[in-house]
Every structure is written in structure tokens, then in C-alpha cells.
Structure 1
Amino acid sequence: MNNPALRDAALLLLRVVAGVIFIAHGWHKAFVLGMDGPGGTTELYAAAGVPAPAIMAWFTAAAEMLGGALLVLGLLATASAAVLALFSLVTLYFFHWGHGFYAEGSGIEMPLILIAACVVIVVFGSGRASLDRVFSRFS
């Protein structure tokens, strides 16, 4: 693609959409399901065989909300996308892989598309419409 403005607009759209999805998933883990109690995120992590489920539940929710916000802002976007891609791979393994496509709420399509979005951001960067670009001018 030889049109830098179009490339940057596409990266902005990808960052914002992926970031909002990650924020929503982190929020859901922390505040909708809740961390403790029946049906809480910690219980779901324990049932799936996630090591140290209480720690990982909080860590995942925080990483998704913070990483998602950083993607939306385009601040440390490449590093955030790399971390979120790894989290999505782990999620794919523990929660989605056995369900295949189209399983109600647990199919592999969502983590796969989020991994792909994160890889694109890692490879191409955050684009010119980002705080990374603004701060790079001062260094």
C-alpha cells in the first residue's frame, strides 16, 4: 500500500477497535463476572486449569484494560500489542481451542482475530495518528 494516509487510518481503526475489545473483556472479567465467588473469573480460571488462577485472573483483567487503553491511545502500542497477543494465545489455549469455530461464546474466532490484529500492530507500528508518533518527535 503506497498511500501513507490510508495506511495510518487503517492502523488507527484497528488499534481503536482492538483496544476497545480488550478493555471490554478486562472490564467483564473484573467487574461483571467478578473475581471471586460462584461463576467468578478466578473460579473459571481454576476450572480451566490455569496456574495460580487468582493471580492470573487479576493480572489478565488489568493487562487487558491497560493494554487496551494503550492501544486506543497509540502509546507504547507495539509493546502492548505484543503482550496482548501473548495473552490471547494463552486464552485461546485454555478457553477456546477445544470448542472450534462458532461455539456459543467460546469459539476460536475472537482470539484468532485479536491475535492477528495485534500482530499487524507489532509489525507495522501504531501509525502517525498515535501518541507514540507525537512523543517520537521529542526524542
Structure 2
Amino acid sequence: MSTLNRRDLGLLVLRVGTGVVLAAHGTQKLFGWFGGGGVEGTAQAMEAMGFHPARESAIAAGLGETGGGVLLALGLATPAAGAAAAGAMAGAVAVHAPAGFFAQSGGYEYPAFLGFTAAALGIAGAGRNSLDHLTGHVLDRPWVVATAFLGSAVAAAAVVGRRAQHRAEVARDLAARDTEWTEGEPPA
């Protein structure tokens, strides 16, 4: 087996494995499959995690994971797929970051790994064993890579920044209520 064939086979295995894992997590969020909460359950979880608007955040996360995962597995529009999945994982990293790095303590290790893997595939391309190759790479051009990753980075920064802002506002409100309580008035 030549080096090129091994590389293409390796990209296929990595794409399919990563894509299936991402799509499975996304379908939990969108459809409630595999023990997930569906859109409503995910929206409630998003609300508790500080994402607003919660329902739209749930749908966006589910679409980023499901759509990005399916497209990665197929090797179609690989830059956009990798960027979408990486952006969705950036939100998950923000949620898990306070628990540290390692997954066994609730940390961000797992979503970071999925995000970096999806990003690497989006940048490297799908290889010859892909729909991108069969379509002449019409959706896998350098400008698509740049546009997809720039758009995903801007969107992820906006979502994570909005979450941080909302959490800070909630913390200020709680602190104000605690101050009122300690001064003898019950919180509103």
C-alpha cells in the first residue's frame, strides 16, 4: 500500500469515526436519540448553563454536531463541516472549562479533542475516499476553508462571550439579592 493510499485510508477512518461520534451527540440534542433530551431537554440544559436564547442555542449545537458530523463522515464540504463541528465544541469547552482539563473530573478534554480533530480534518481535507474528491473539490477550496473557519470562530466567540456576559449578570443579581438579605430585607 503506497503512502498516499495509507494517508487517504487514515483520513477516511478518522473522518468516519469523528463524524459518527459528533452526529450521535447532535441527534441526542435534536431528536432525543440515544438517551438525549431532544430540543426541549437540551434547551432546558442550555438555559441552566447560561446560553441564551436557550432553544436557539440547543438547535445550533445540535445542527453543528449532527450536520458537521454527517458531512465529515461523508467527506463533503469538509472545511465547513470541520469548522461547524469545531465551533460547536468551543461552546462545550466553555461549559466544561471550570472543571479543569480531564474528562473524568468533568473537564473539557473530550469536547476539545473532538473540536481539534474536526478542525484538523476541515483544514487537511477529506482525502480521495470522499464525496469532496468525487465532486472535484467544489466545496473544498482554500477560500471555503478561510471563510468557514473565520465564520465559525466569530460565531463561537459571540456565543461564548454572550454566555459569559449573561452568567456575570446573573452573579451580580444574586450578589445584590444576598446583600439585601443580609441587611434584613428578604430577596425579591
Short-chain TM bin: 0.7 to 0.9
Distance in 2 (CA, whole Å) between partners of 1:102 and 1:65 is 22
- TM-score w.r.t. length of structure 2: 0.65
Greater share of helix: 2
CA, structure 1 residues 137+109, in 2 after alignment: closer, same or farther (shift >3 Å)? Answer: closer
Instruction: Look up the equivalent residue of 1:51 and give its one-letter code.
Output: H
Deviations, residues 72-102 of structure 1 (Å, cap 9, x unaligned)? 1111012110121111112111x21111213
Q: Quote how far apart the aligned CAs of 1:137 are.
A: 7.3
- TM-score w.r.t. length of structure 1: 0.86
Alignment: residue pair count: 132
Instruction: Look up the equivalent residue of 1:61 and give its one-letter code.
Output: G
**Counterpart in the other structure of 2:69:** 68
Mapping for residues 87-106 of structure 1, pairs under 5 Å: 87-93=88-94, 95-100=95-100, 101-103=102-104, 106=106
SS at match of 1:11: helix
Runs of 4+ in 1 over 4 A off after TM superposition: none
Instruction: Look up the equivalent residue of 2:108 and give its one-letter code.
Output: I
SS at match of 2:29: helix
Distance in 2 (CA, whole Å) between partners of 1:47 and 1:121 is 32
Identity fraction in percent: 33
Deviations, residues 13-60 of structure 1 (Å, cap 9, x unaligned)? 111011001111011112121222xxx111111111112111110121
* Unaligned 5+ runs, structure 1: none
Distance in 1 (CA, whole Å) between partners of 2:120 and 2:63 is 23
**Counterpart in the other structure of 1:50:** 51
CA, structure 1 residues 62+102, in 2 after alignment: closer, same or farther (shift >3 Å)? Answer: closer
Give the number of the structure whose alpha-carbon radius of gyration is greater: 2
* Unaligned 5+ runs, structure 2: 139-188
